[in-house]
Amino acid sequence: MSVQETEAPAPTITRAPLRTLPKVATASATLRDVFIVTWAVPVEKLLGLVPVGVTLERLPSSDGQLVGFVQLVFALRDDARWSPLPALLGDDFHETTLQLLTRTDGERSAFVVAHFVGSTQAAGTLTAFTRVVEEARFHVYIAGDPARQTFARLGIKLTTHAVQVHLRAEACEPPERTLIGSWHESVAFLTRFNRQLHPARLSKEALSLFRTEHPPLTPCAARLTHQVLRPFDDLELGEPVLALYQAELPVTSLPIKRK
């Protein structure tokens, strides 16, 4: 699959160099069929979803109203393993996170509201770090040419006893501008952050922080043709700011600390 990259001033994108994480403590994987959809929502509707100390990323919309960003990230996590292990010992599973774009300690980040995985083993491992992980049933189809980093259409459906997420999309031309800025500025703003925060298992006030490194995305643009996000019914999500698809993305992650 693939993905592509307001009259608000374009945000400054800091391109700090990536550092190399110590392999012994890190996890590696290749994300395949990465699909990222981002919606702009009035900030006041999102404030109750983030804990104290976590600041929502926000920008003015075309009417001057401050909006925050709700993001869905779907991928097949391929060869997921501790970094020193060979890829053939890795696990493969679909996963989806529903997250809010945020800032913590002055750095851009994402706060995870829900995390769904299609693997009992992965759900059990992640339970040590987060209380929002849940095993789910996934049904996925993709039409495209992964070798050429292109796609035509896709469908993603995940269900649990209380949740249903169902998206369908098709390829489209990338927009020249969005609420955020140009195509390239928009893609960078929505995908260039290396901290992910989860509600920690041990305390309602604590956070589990993960640092993630990956190359910059070079996605294709997509257009949603159907969307159901039952966990976010109250937010009345409309048309997304951007829907992006990328066929492949290598990632390395590390739990860095607890607050």
> What is the pLDDT, as a whole number, of residue 210?
84
pTM of the model: 0.85
- Is residue 231 scored above 90 in pLDDT? no
The residues near 108 (Cβ < 8 Å, ≥ 6 apart) are 14, 57, 101, 102, 192, 193, 195
Average pLDDT over residues 87-104: 87
CA nearest to 110, candidates 41, 208, 19: 208
Mean pLDDT, residues 214-220: 92
In this predicted model, what pLDDT tens digit does every residue of 70-93 receive, in sequence order?
A: 999 999 999 876 666 666 666 899
pLDDT tops 70 at residue 18: no
Q: Tens digit of pLDDT for each residue in 140-190?
A: 999 977 666 678 999 999 999 889 999 999 999 999 999 999 999 999 999
* Assigned CATH topology for domain 31-258: Acetoacetate decarboxylase-like (2.40.400)
